[in-house]
Chains A and B, each alone.
Chain A
Amino acid sequence: MRYVLAIYENEKKMSVPPNSDAERAMNSEYFAFTESIKKSGNLVGGEALQPTSTATTVRIRDGKRLTTDGPFAETKEQLGGFYLIEAENLDQAIAIASRIPGAKTGCVEVRPVVNFTNMG
């Protein structure tokens, strides 16, 4: 199965200041993690996201498209990035998600991806 690992962090209280040693350390932690799931064959894809101020939400209501500024829902944490992984089952996906550096400061949402070929 394929899973999206969505990483939530608090944008306003960014855990590390930009261009600091802490940021460089965090980046290298992410690079190491990415490299490790690339090697293990679990990585399908993934991106870092721009902050929610750049986000747009699109809805279709009564067949009409509504475009609004901002993220889908406002909470303390904002979506900061995601990994798309291939895992055998939810347990493996959770195990990988818990290795994401952001899991320590924010949270990671594990969401199964709809498998269109398996639908009746």
Chain B
Amino acid sequence: MATADFPLASATGDGGNLRRIALDPLSRVEGHGKVTLLLDDAGQVWQARLHIVEFRGFEKFIQGRPYWEVPVMVQRLCGICPVSHHLAAAKALDHVVGADELPPTAEKLRRLMHAGQILQSHALHFFHLSSPDLLFGFASDAARRNIVGIAAAHPEVARQGVLLRRFGQEIIRLTAGKRVHGTGAVPGGVNRALSRAERADLLAGIEQIIAWSRQAVQLVKRLHAADPELYDHFGTCRSNLLSIVGAGGVLDFYDGRLRARDADGRLLADAVHVRDYAELISEEVKSWSYMKFPFLSAIGPRDGWYKVGPLARVQNCEAIATPLAEAERREFIAHGGGRIVHAPLAYHWARMIEMLHAAEAIEDLLHDDELSGSELRSSGVRHHEGVGVIEAPRGTLIHHYRVGDDDLVTMCNLIVSTTHNNQPMNEAVRRVAQRYLDGQELTEGLLNHIEVAIRCFDPCLSCATHALGRMPLVLELLDASGRLVGRLAGAPDALSSGGGS
């Protein structure tokens, strides 16, 4: 099959008539996207591409706006991980207002808000969007393959998913003022603390949340154990890994330094300060997607692409700071048997380990009286530039701004999590297309395999369209002449999760 980089020219050269199939819009993902496939008369797949089809232009219209507006504005990139954008922007602007160190109350409140975000987003992705594939089967009845079907067949699983998400959203509401698109973080700190009563209310529910998170990890492990062949090999593609890693090499969603490993786990870069991100990665543009293709500059676009998100983070760190999640991480690493796990379906496993960690971290933070402190902001010598990097639910999220003396933004560059995973998602789609679709009579169930592969990455197509719109995901099938033969349109509205992610 043609690769992402050398696709159609060779395919049309000798392919004769290629059929085009489109999955448009992708469903049960967050945001709009489509996948197109080109097949020859024998049903062999010549090309498979994930397109991001929308453009919203945030980077452009943020220019000329006052910097304090930015954290509130940019979170509107994504309704699923708005907190990650909100905080990444606030972190970048902390530098601009000279807040080199935040008061402990502010930093802890932001960490709590972000842990709430990880919890709700991971729960949403696993229970509401992906669990139907995993519990019913990839090619199961499409009419039942959704959260309604889960509620009927596994009511307890559905209920736990809804309540886990609710808990994360409540953390966000109490720290940001609203569940979606709040205002809690401001450059240099936060605008409110948590009262003791609010903390006590949340603490009353946390034990149950941790217990359900543990059950979720067990559920994913059972799925892996029941069909190792599928879970280890479905769409598997080796690649480099990238994430930020906290002090001491621990998993940290909120802050740290950039670390990259190669596909065998060898360190390619470590302790890279986030302000130097531009030296570490570059982005390639392709004609067929509004989503750019980032890669490690030192390696180049062909081999320098990498995975971000739970699968990268859990294997990039040396430890997780909370005991239950750390035990699960060790078991996950043991499953790899000394090798890096690259299987997309293992994203779900890593994701549930992270959800458990978020729940444990929330409990630890809620016991901390500094959450109710009164010193909310700091400031110092002004700077003209700031970079904020955070680990959003879907992976590394980079916000970079320049601000003039008049307080207006003059430059904005955003690299969102889903964009980092652009090439891995395309590779996974190609592998699944080749393995399951080649030469087959294409059914809805077979085509859903493509979407299952994409869902592993929990793409936030909403985030990914920040540049000038949104990207819909579509899967299309072309015949050898490039004629559209079939088009599996996903609802252009898949839930896009976002940000950053």
Do they bind each other?
A: no
Q: Which residues of A contact B (CB under 8 A)?
A: none
